[in-house]
Amino acid sequence: MNEHDERLTAGRDSTHQESGGDHADSGPRQEDGAQVSTGSETAGAPEAIPELVIISGMSGAGRSTAAKCLEDLGWFVVDNLPPALIPTMVELGARSQGNVARIAVVVDVRGRRFFDNLRESLADLDTRGVTRRIVFLESSDDALVRRFESVRRPHPLQGDGRIVDGIDAERELLRELRGDADLVIDTSSLNVHELRAKMDAQFAGEEEPELRATVMSFGFKYGLPVDADLVADMRFLPNPHWVPELSAFTGVNEEVAAYVFNQPGAKEFLDRYAELLRLVAAGYRREGKRYVTIAIGCTGGKHRSVAMSEKLAARLAAEGVETVVVHRDMGRE
C-alpha cells in the first residue's frame, strides 16, 4: 500500500469511528469501566485525582485513532462523554483506589447540545486541582471532504447543506476550544501510523517532562503549518537552491548547513531566537502549557529551514527541552 492509500485509509478509519460507526474499542472500554468501583470498596481509602486528557477537534481528523492510542498506553478512555459529566468521571476515577489513574475523554459535536457545558466543566476541574490537557485534532478542508466522501457519510453538522457547510460550522463551534488546546495536531497529511507515532511521542514517556517541543521545517509555497505556535522565516538568507553543487542536497547535509550558517545573520538569528524561546518557554511553563510547535520556514522547505531546524532543535535539547524534529516538506520537490 502506498502513502496515498494509507492516508485515505486513515481518513476512512477515523471518520467511520467518529461518525457513529461501530467502535472496535468499545468492548475493552466497557470492561475497563466495570473496574471502576464505588460504595463500600472505597470507604476510607485515600482519593488520588486522576490525570485527565480531553481529546477533541474536527470530525474526520482522527480523534478515534488518538483515543485508541491512549487506550493502548493504558489510559481509561471514554468516547463521546457529555462535557457536563467530565467532573463526575474524574470523581469516579479518584474513588477507584488507583485503578483509574489516567483518563482520556473524547468530546465532539455529536454531543453538541451538551457542548456549552464544557467551559463550566473545565472551570470546575481547575478548582479541584485536576491536571488536565486538551488535545485538538485539526485537518484541512480538502482532507476532511475526501475522508467523508470516501465513506459516503454526512458531516454531523451539515444538515441539508454540503459537507463543507458542516465543516465550516464545526470550525466555528470549536474555535475557542482550539485556542485553549495544549497540543494541536494537524492530520491533513498524516496516515494512521504517523498519527499514532505523534501521540506516542507525547504520552508514552514514563515521566512527564516540563516542556516538549516539536521543531518543524516547512516550505512557504506549500502553506503554513496550521498547528504551529511560533513561526520563523529563513528567507532572509541566500538560497542554496541556486548553488549548483548544493541544490540537489538538503539542509541535513553538512555542506548545505555550513553554507547556510556562513551567511551573515544566520548564527546571530540562531542565538537570539534560542534566547527568545527560553523566555517563551518559561512563560509556557508558568501557564501550564506543556507542548510547543516551532515552525521554521523557507521557500521550499528543503535547505535553509531544514538546516536551521536541526541546529535549533539541538540547542533546545542541550538546554533540557525534550525535542522532536519534523521536516514536513523535505523531499516534496
Q: In the chain, how many domains are there? A: 2
62 in a known ligand binding site: yes
Selected residue with higher pLDDT from 327 and 6: 327
The answer to whether 109 is annotated as binding is yes
60 assigned to a ligand binding site: yes
Is 168 within any annotated ligand binding site? no
Of 203, 236, 261, the one marking the end of a domain is 203
- Domain with 281 in it: 212-327
pLDDT reading at 122 higher than 60: yes
Q: Is 308 annotated as a binding residue?
A: no
Domain boundary among 203, 222, 255: 203
**245 in a domain, yes or no?**
yes
Considering the domain architecture, whether residues 282 and 299 belong to the same structural domain is answered as yes
Is 59 among the annotated ligand-binding positions? Answer: yes
Indicate whether 134 and 100 sit together in one domain: yes
Is 121 annotated as a binding-site member? no
Tell me: is residue 110 an annotated ligand-binding position: yes
pTM: 0.56
Q: What is the DSSP string of 148-202?
A: HHHHT---TT-TTS-HHHHHHHHHHHHHHHHHH-SEEEE-TT--HHHHHHHHHHH
| Residue in the structure block whose three cell numbers are 527560553 | 278
Residue 64, marked binder? yes
**Per-residue pLDDT tens digits for 203-214:** 876 444 467 899
Please indicate, yes or no, whether residues 156 and 99 belong to a single structural domain of this protein.
Answer: yes
DSSP secondary structure string, 215-279? EEEEEGGG---TT-SEEEE-TTSPPGGGSHHHHTS-TTSHHHHHHHHTSTTHHHHHHHHHHHHHH
Same domain, 156 and 77: yes
Last residue of a domain, one of 161, 185, 203: 203
Q: What is the CATH number of the domain that holds 81?
A: 3.40.50.300
> 260 with 266: CB under 8 angstroms?
yes
With pLDDT > 70 as the criterion, what percentage of the chain qualifies? Answer: 82
Does 325 carry a binding-site annotation? no
Q: Is residue 179 located within the same domain as residue 73?
A: yes
- Looking at the structure, do residues 189 and 223 belong to the same domain, yes or no? no
Stretch (H or E) spanning 212:
strand 212-219
What value does the mean pLDDT take over residues 123-147?
90
The predicted-structure confidence for 250-291, as pLDDT tens digits, reads as follows 999 999 999 999 999 999 999 999 999 999 988 887 776 778
Same domain, 143 and 220: no
119 lies in the same domain as 167: yes
